[in-house]
């Protein structure tokens, strides 16, 4: 099956299928409630993980949603067609995810009290994850070679545009205490600690027992075995697990097996250049070459 090319919406390239001009307009006019919680991510930074975590935190550990509702209906994407179909089924407080940059959030979001958890991941691992995802997802453009995909990513010729633009847009908001920043690496390092931060931000008092229960159900292994979360309900013609699994490795530092030292120098210097003059620093040392495997030289 061949897919039509990406839609361009207000300067952003988006894959067809899940998105349409109508779904994007619907998102613009979406009526945000004060109690809404958005997990915002650049693709491949931990979106699906947050679709597991948020319902569990908000319901104080009720497993029913993660065991009975597919992740895309449980915590829908703001920008996708599916939202319109499921919005009336969402229980309050609603949890949603989005890959939108800040400027594309619905008008009603800006004047609401809705909260945002912005999850960032080391862009080197985002790139690797995305490269494999492009191989298994039929609705995404062919990534080309690894070398070519590095440049596509750095130049923003990928869905949802440049990683640096996304991060900058969400770092420059006037949301004050409505936004919390979290990294994928923090969640890998100590998930219970990350869950405590999330619960605290959302005003939930969870016992250590509930925190442990949520962490167990949100482990990579549990999610990989949960057919409501591992995308195995998606027909193979759309996502082919023989090419790559959606829940692929779930680790920090897989980039070490993919970048040559030259590619890493090019990647990190390009990202650092884009970050020049910013009033925040990235929580990773992108040019750390110490552990690069000699895979491409
Ligand atoms: P990898 O491809 O590196 O394995 P997104 O949901 O934003 O598309 O991100 C997908 C990435 O998050 C994949 O990374 C996936 O394995 C990882 N991921 C999802 N759930 C996870 C979990 N419970 N623990 C660790 N990583 C997880």
Residue 202 included in any domain: yes
Q: State the pLDDT at residue 288.
A: 81
Question: Which residues are marked as active site?
Answer: 99
Residue 296 token pair: 């491409």
d(CA 63, CA 268): 41
The share of the chain scoring above pLDDT 90, in percent, equals 95
d(CA 254, CA 44): 13
Locus of tokens 């949100």: 218
Summarised one tens digit per residue, pLDDT across range 143-170 is 999 999 999 999 999 999 999 999 999 9
Mean pLDDT of 82-106: 98
Question: 51 CB under 6 A from ligand 1?
Answer: no
Which of 50, 56, 129 to mutate to test ligand 1, by most ligand atoms within 8 A of the CB atom? 129
Q: State the pLDDT at residue 2.
A: 73
Would the pLDDT of 11 be above 60?
A: yes
Residue 241 included in any domain: no
Residue 21 included in any domain: yes
Mean pLDDT of 229-257: 97
Mean pLDDT of 191-208: 98
Q: State the total domains in the chain.
A: 1
- Give the range of the structural domain holding residue 92, as residue numbers without chain letter: 7-121+159-236
d(CA 56, CA 213): 9
Residue 216 included in any domain: yes
Q: Where are the beta strands (DSSP E) in the chain?
A: 7-9, 12-14, 37-41, 95-98, 115-120, 179-183
The share of the chain scoring above pLDDT 70, in percent, equals 97
Question: 49 CB under 6 A from ligand 1?
Answer: yes
Q: State the pLDDT at residue 122.
A: 98
Question: 71 CB under 6 A from ligand 1?
Answer: no
d(CA 73, CA 43): 18
Residue 127 included in any domain: no
Summarised one tens digit per residue, pLDDT across range 59-80 is 999 999 999 999 999 999 999 9
pLDDT band at 289 (very low <50, low <70, confident <90, very high): confident
> In CATH, what number is assigned to the domain containing residue 21?
3.40.50.300
Q: SS3 for 104? A: helix
Which of 220, 222, 230 to mutate to test ligand 1, by most ligand atoms within 8 A of the CB atom? 220
Closest CA to 15 of 143, 164, 146: 143
Sign of the C-alpha dihedral computed for residues 99, 162, 231 and 223 taken in this order: negative
pLDDT band at 292 (very low <50, low <70, confident <90, very high): low
Q: Tell which wins on pLDDT, 239 or 295.
A: 239
Q: 230 CA to middle of ligand 1, Å?
A: 10
d(CA 80, CA 22): 9
Q: What is the pTM of this model?
A: 0.97
pLDDT band at 296 (very low <50, low <70, confident <90, very high): very low
Sign of the C-alpha dihedral computed for residues 125, 226, 92 and 20 taken in this order: positive
Q: 270 CA to middle of ligand 1, Å?
A: 25
Question: 129 CB under 6 A from ligand 1?
Answer: yes
Would the pLDDT of 293 be above 60?
A: no
Would the pLDDT of 1 be above 70?
A: no
Q: State the pLDDT at residue 284.
A: 96
Summarised one tens digit per residue, pLDDT across range 109-137 is 999 999 999 999 999 999 999 999 999 99
Residue 274 included in any domain: no
Residue 289 included in any domain: no
Would the pLDDT of 297 be above 60?
A: no
Mean pLDDT of 272-279: 96
Q: 60 CA to middle of ligand 1, Å?
A: 23
Would the pLDDT of 291 be above 70?
A: no
Question: 245 CB under 6 A from ligand 1?
Answer: no
Question: 84 CB under 6 A from ligand 1?
Answer: no
Mean pLDDT of 182-198: 98
Give the position, in ligand 1's atom list, of the atom nearest the Cα of 247: 16
d(CA 142, CA 296): 21
Residue 291 included in any domain: no
Listed range (3-12, 188-197, 237-246) with the worst mean pLDDT:
3-12
d(CA 236, CA 136): 9
Q: 279 CA to middle of ligand 1, Å?
A: 29
Q: State the pLDDT at residue 290.
A: 61
């Amino acid at each position: 099956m061949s897919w039509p090319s990406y839609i361009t919406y207000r300067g952003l390239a988006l894959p067809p299928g899940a998105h349409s001009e109508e779904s994007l307009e619907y998102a613009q006019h979406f009526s945000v409630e004060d109690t809404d919680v958005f997990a915002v991510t650049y693709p491949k930074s931990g979106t699906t993980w947050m679709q597991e975590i948020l319902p569990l935190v908000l319901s104080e550990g009720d497993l029913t949603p993660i065991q009975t509702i597919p992740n895309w209906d449980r915590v829908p994407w703001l920008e996708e067609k599916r939202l319109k179909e499921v919005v009336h089924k969402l229980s309050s407080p609603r949890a949603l995810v989005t890959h939108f940059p800040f400027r594309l959030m619905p008008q009603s979001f800006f004047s609401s009290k809705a909260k945002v958890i912005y999850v960032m991941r080391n862009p080197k691992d985002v790139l690797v994850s995305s490269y494999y995802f492009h191989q298994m997802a039929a609705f995404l453009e062919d990534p080309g070679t690894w070398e070519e995909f590095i440049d596509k990513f750095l130049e923003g010729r990928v869905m949802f545009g440049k990683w640096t633009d996304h991060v900058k847009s969400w770092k420059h908001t006037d949301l004050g205490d409505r936004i919390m920043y979290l990294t994928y690496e923090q969640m890998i390092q100590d998930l219970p600690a990350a869950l405590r931060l999330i619960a605290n931000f959302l005003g939930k008092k969870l016992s250590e027992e509930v925190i442990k229960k949520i962490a167990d159900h949100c482990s990579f292994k549990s999610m990989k075995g949960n057919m409501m979360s591992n995308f195995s309900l998606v027909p193979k013609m759309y996502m082919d697990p023989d090419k790559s699994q959606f829940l692929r490795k779930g680790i920090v530092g897989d980039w070490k097996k993919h970048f040559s030292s030259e590619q890493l120098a090019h990647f990190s210097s390009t990202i650092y250049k884009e970050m020049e003059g910013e009033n925040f620093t990235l929580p990773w040392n992108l040019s750390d070459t110490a552990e690069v495997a000699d895979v491409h030289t």
